[in-house]
Chains A and B, each alone.
Chain A
Amino acid sequence: MDAFTQLFEKGRNGPCRPWPRAEVSAAEWTALTGHLVAGDLVLMGLWGDAGAAHMALREEGGGRLAVATCPCPDGTFPSVARHHAPAARLERTVRDLFGLVAEGAPDPRPWLDHGRWGVRHPLGTSVRAEPAGDANVVLAADAYPFLAAEGEGLHQIPVGPVHAGIIEPGHFRFSCYGETVVRLEGRLGYVHKGIEGLMAGADIARAARLAGRQSGDSTVAYALAFCRAVEAARGIVVPERAHALRAVMAELERLANHLGDIGGICNDAAFALMLAHCGVLRELVLRASARGFGHRLMMDKVVPGGVACDLAPEGVAALRALVAHARAAFPALVELYDNTASLQDRTVGTGFTRPDHVRQFGAGGYVGRASGRAFDARRSLPYPPYDRLPFEVAGRTEGDVNARVWVRIREVEESLGLIVRLLDTLPAGPVLAELNGTGEGRAGEGLAVVEGFRGDVLAFVALGADGRVRRAHLRDPSWFQWPLLETAIEGNIVADFPLCNKSFNCSYSGVDL
């Protein structure tokens, strides 16, 4: 029996639903790391807790998920990143927030902690005393040592955290040879709000609202992931109609974001016409969402137990009208994208992301699917109502900006079809489960994976006996996409960075927590 099956079996009687969680020894933890390196397991997340580190793992090609927990009585656990690079920033985060040190980690620099909070290890309880004068503990923002790029004629371009456009803050350090980028290193953490600190001790209604604000563009996906984890922990059965309405919202969110991205990518290639037309379609999606669900971004509409409001017949009509309009207008835009040589000249071959990197990092969303990784949580880890809905998972193999645009185009078309199918088969009945009495007063844990527009969002929620959140962690898909952006820009010119960046459209807020 391999290490994963052992973990899976050991966790069967554990506290976590629907996927198991079990404590493992340091040796077992390291054995599991070996499977990550070998590629038969995919890292789905790594996060800290009071005196322990958790690691969510998925069988490559299989539908099984499990969480390994490594107790850290002395404040340390064996580093995963030492052997498996995708864990690096996650381990740095665990250290910053909990003070748990990944023994043998390749990168000792802090990540989220910029030395501005006035506290260290704000979520930690088992803080290991750092040796005095450890330069890595509290660093002035300006003193962050970026990775070196050395050679004759190299120069650095620092960008951010305040950027030129209306986007989130982050710092990018380019090392260039002439116009060519030799190395890019990102430094994030600027929008760290302490979400996990605020969630701990919160009741589930407030925690769901917080979850919906970890990354506002994915508010439906985040709220859905959080609620599914809570429902798993407490054994709440969500009504069928609520499942369907949640999926309608999720597809509307995907539509709005993909339309915005397609326009934005073309605009970053100086083709404003696409932005104008996609912007109109995006606005229509938001207005139809507001008419159907009462909020343009549908914030706080997915709640534990179901959805906050039913979809009225007028809402159904508004959504049907939206789909009809989008289906009529979108093909001309696709044709415009496909037939504009000056635009293709910018997107084809730009920002190539290697398929082996995508596999190693377990990168989801359009980043993974444009580089030949077929993973889509709606298909690979199916949840209602997608487990009974026919739909195509878009995929390309070229791995460039163009491929990421095409994956989005196909997903826009697919989402339009899904919305129609969901509305056609909308079950009648209640939209919110009765929460009273279901699992209340019983501690429990839930794990959920939901496909947001930019990839899979993982949620882990541990509820205390008082019904409040003891620990919640939501892992943004961008954790495994940001590092790949740094590889995608290598060898491209500086002027193509906005294009590459927009084609990834990673979340800052989602990973800054």
Chain B
Amino acid sequence: MSGEVIHMNCKEFEEVLHDLDRPGTHGFDLDLREGALLHAEGCSHCAQLMTESESLDFSLHALALRDDVLLAPAHVEAQLLNQFRQHRDAVSSSRSRWRLVALATAAGVLLAAAGSFHHWSFSGMGSGAGSDSGTHMGSQPGTNGTVNNISGSTAASNVGNVGAAESTSGAQGAGSEYASAFVPLPYADDPSTLEGGMIVRVSFSQPALASLGLPVTDLGAAEQIPADLVLSEDGTPQAIRLVSQTSANQ
């Protein structure tokens, strides 16, 4: 309260009339109330309005007091408590169910991971010890055949899998045939993407083999060397393995 008298007209009076003494509004200001009272003293219309407004306040207050004792019937509370218990039980069982589902999912994921790890490690061993067993070609699986400096690798094992699927095209039936592991060619795609490839038996001259990056030094230049080529779906050679000439001729 500043003590300054606020002068207002009828419009301003009506603006603040309904907020007078209302907490949280500008009408709660004592100066404003004094100003309104001052205006009402000199304006009969506003004085009557103020009286009626205060009367309305009183009546509304009386109404609020009278209705203060009104409560919802007891059966509403009883029904709500039942509903609350049911909801709580439903939520609780739902949570248990979700926990079980989460556990089962986690167990499944673990099993799948373990399975794929097992498969991976098994095939990893296969690339070293039995890549050629997948080709059903040799009586001595794992041998590098006549080309000693071509060793089995993961890539070779992968293409070896292709070979397993496609071995009928080349080496099936050649019971004593020896073959090296597949070696990816320098420009080949990632061997892991080699799905659905095809193996073809071809004969290479030594220079041709050398151009593919195979160090074949023991053979005569004119000699044709049989080899299996893995072709991708678009026909591009992806890997090569040498087949023992002697065995192939048998």
Co-complex (A, B) = no
